[in-house]
A and B are shown apart, each in its own frame.
Chain A
Amino acid sequence: MAVAASPRANKAKVAIAQLSWSAAKPAPLVLVSGGEGFLADRAISMIREQLRAADPSLEVSDVDASSYSPGQLLTLASPSLFGEPRLIRVSNVEKCNDDFLVDALDYVASPDSETTVILRHDGGVRGKKLLDSLRAGNGGGIEIICAELKSDSDKFDFATGEFRQAGRKISAGALRSLVSAFAGSGAELASACQQLISDAVGEISDRTVDDYYGGRIEATAFKVVDSAVAGRLGDALLTLRHALSSGADPVPVVAAFAAKLRLMAKISGDRRSAGELAGAVGAAPWQIDRARKDLQGWNEPGLARAIEAIADADANVKGGGRDPVYAVERMVMIVASYGRD
């Protein structure tokens, strides 16, 4: 995992070990940081498993830092009669209330040696004082970084690791289809990897991935649209051909184009704020911002021409035309030339 890529890691002076999620291990204080929730969940459960393996009498408790009441932490961490080890999982540290901050800073100053406290913080500035204190080395903590799997290469690396760890062979092409099918969500990519590992027999090929997730290859549709709308014809056609040749259905590709251009057309020339427009056109503000960006390079006749081409392609892929693949490619070409044909 890209440890150095975490901006937070570079800001304050860091005096503690920073590990990737796959190297998660117990310590009196464990800061689990970063925005990739499913990796954080994994890291936290790995720590619990290790503690339980060391002593099955482990007592696990959960604390929500956003609704914390004073004294809770100390009560849970105070030594019991029989000296069972404790694991306290604290969630929502990024939304913690002031009571929690006060108690946590106290606790960091003198942690209990039989207790593991995991602090889950998924980003943002709230609780920064606590994070800085931990990272400065107070309490003998470690940090596990679960940065979001943003780029395709992050996801590719992640998936590669999943199969390697399970001792399973998977072809490079299969990995690529898998990653592009689940481009939207790291968690879904992870569960898809796990499903293939547990269900598929032998080496995992392109074919296997298609059998399992053929429908999901639709996610590539959005990649084709994004490239085309930005005028990157080569990328768009390449992704399209790859998707179609691995058996993807052209219908969702056309639908993705329609949805994209529709929103662009709806907001074109409208100077209202994203917030105001959101209600008016039934889209989220971030989608409006995105569509505004997409509109660069486009003009009114181009949008009109593109939407007509999409309608034409839809008719063709739904049985009206002799060559649906050509129809979709033509649509991609028209869109990638900003509707200038």
Chain B
Amino acid sequence: MSVWDELVGQKEAIAVFRAAAESGLAVSPGRVQAGVDTVGKAASMNDASMTHSWLVTGPPGSGRSNLAYAFAAALLCRNGGCGDCPDCKQVAARTHPDLATLTTEAVIIKIEDVRELVRGSQFSPAVSRYRVIVIEDADRMAERTSNVLLKALEEPPERTVWILCAPSEADLIPTIRSRVRSVRLRVPSIPDVAELIMARDGVTNEVAERAARHAQSHIGMAHRLATNPEAHTRRDETLRLALGLSGVRDAVLAAARMIEIATDDAKALTDERDASELESTRRSMGVATGDAVPAQLRSHIKNLEDHQKRRATRSLRDGLDRILVDLLSLYRDILRLQLGVETSLINEELEAGLRAAATARTAADTLATMEAIGVARTRIDSNVSPVLAIEALMIRAARKEAA
């Protein structure tokens, strides 16, 4: 077993990180090369050199942060990422003393948080060979914040390693881009994701395959769909609502229901995440489940709870976004049928309904609806009342004959 086992469909990327971690193992900490040879795109796959600043890019759900933490474990573990030792377990719980992480549910990373990371990056590792800092959504930094980070990347202490994650290189300012070694992840295939889900969540092959397909290879989403029957039911209801539209009344009622679904979904997601964060915070403070939190530690819990409250709105938006992604998969299927492409439907469970929809409307209607999904997303992002945005979308979806 190793920390790399659970990463799906990323053989090339894993090879790069493994080689880097192993080259680091081979050299004594004092001789780790300084970060001058790190211009990302120039570095080739067989360049096994260890560098100080990494960027993991890839579409949402491709497992950017999983890969970042696997790499972190490989650097911090005495056995190169065995997955079993206390180092690896602490990395998995985000409590390793030489690991600092920055995750945000907010739209923007706070400059103060980055300053604090930079301050921490100046210390030598406490127990391991390296001090590792992971920034999960490095694309969410304002330019001023990026510049704070840039200074740290320009003169990294010998044993500090930065790992940034972002959807693409273009999401970072050029000066940062030129300081990091970039590793791009692929969208894993549905069978790859299904295999992972089956192994990790202990579900049947059918459930895993269906979840991976419905999630369109988004690993986190597939995990949820496979393990959370309500999440699966909500998705199914959303799509059936869209298939059952026959007029403006249906459209408006469907929109109302979809908002409820998105709210429920966001709430469930928030609750699951809040509970697990709270639990891991308690664990990291040495408070067992069910025990009272000692007075002197309560402010930590309070801070976490405040943070959780603040990000609640973002997750409603995420719930809505999820619905739009699912709807897009539905119309993609309908369009394929209309164009005579009979294979690989994402929502094959709904085949009868998809076929009926494909004959009831033209491909131009379907394209217009897909466009309307994009419009709805833009509108929701610019604070249009979500109900109204979804209503307009459902109305377009219900209409026959493209305008």
Do B384 and A304 have beta carbons less than 8 Å apart? no
Chain A residue, CB-CB nearest to B252: A265
> Known interface pairs A304-B399, A307-B395. Does A262 touch B387 (Cβ–Cβ under 8 Å)?
yes
Q: How large is the interface on A (under 10, 10 to 19, 20 to 34, 35 or more residues)?
A: 20 to 34
The A-B contact count (CB < 8 A) is 67
B249, B251, B398: residue with the most chain A Cβ atoms closer than 10 Å? B249
Give the complex CA separation of A178 and B249 in angstroms.
Answer: 37
A318 on the B face (CB < 8 A):
yes
B248 touching A268, Cβ below 8 Å: yes
Residues of A within 8 A of B247 (CB): 269, 300
Separation of A307 and B395 alpha carbons in the complex (Å): 8
B253 closest partner in A (C-beta): A266
Determine which of B378, B383, B387, B395 lies in contact with A308 in the assembled complex, contact meaning CB atoms within 8 Å.
Answer: B395
B169 interface hit (Cβ, 8 Å): no
**Are A311 and B379 within 8 A (Cβ)?**
yes
Interchain CB contact (< 8 A) of B248 among A304, A314, A319: A304
Give A307 to B398 CA distance when docked, in angstroms: 13
A311 to B256 Cα, complex, angstroms: 15
B258 part of interface (Cβ distance < 8 Å):
no
Across-interface contacts of B382 in A (CB, < 8 A)? 315, 318-320
B396 CB-CB contact with A under 8 Å: yes
Q: How far is the CA of A262 from the CA of B392 in the complex (A)?
A: 11
| CB-defined contacts of A269 to chain B, threshold 8 Å | 247, 249
Known contacts A262-B391, A308-B396, A311-B391; A268/B249 CB under 8 A: yes
Measured CB to CB, the closest approach of chain A to B397, in angstroms, equals: 11
CA distance A95 to B399 in the complex (A): 53
The verdict on B150 contacting chain A, using a C-beta distance below 8 Å, is no
Q: In the complex, what residues of A have CB within 8 A of residue B384's CB? A: 311, 314-315, 318, 320
**A314 touching B388 in the complex, CB below 8 Å, given contacts A300-B247, A304-B395, A319-B382:** yes
Q: A307-B248, A308-B392 are in contact. List 5 more A-B contacts (CB 8 A).
A: A262-B252, A265-B252, A266-B252, A311-B392, A312-B392
27 contacts across the A-B interface (CB closer than 8 A): A262-B387, A266-B252, A266-B253, A266-B256, A269-B247, A269-B249, A281-B253, A300-B247, A303-B248, A304-B248, A304-B395, A304-B399, A307-B248, A307-B388, A307-B391, A310-B388, A311-B388, A311-B389, A312-B392, A314-B379, A315-B382, A318-B383, A319-B382, A319-B383, A320-B379, A320-B382, A320-B384
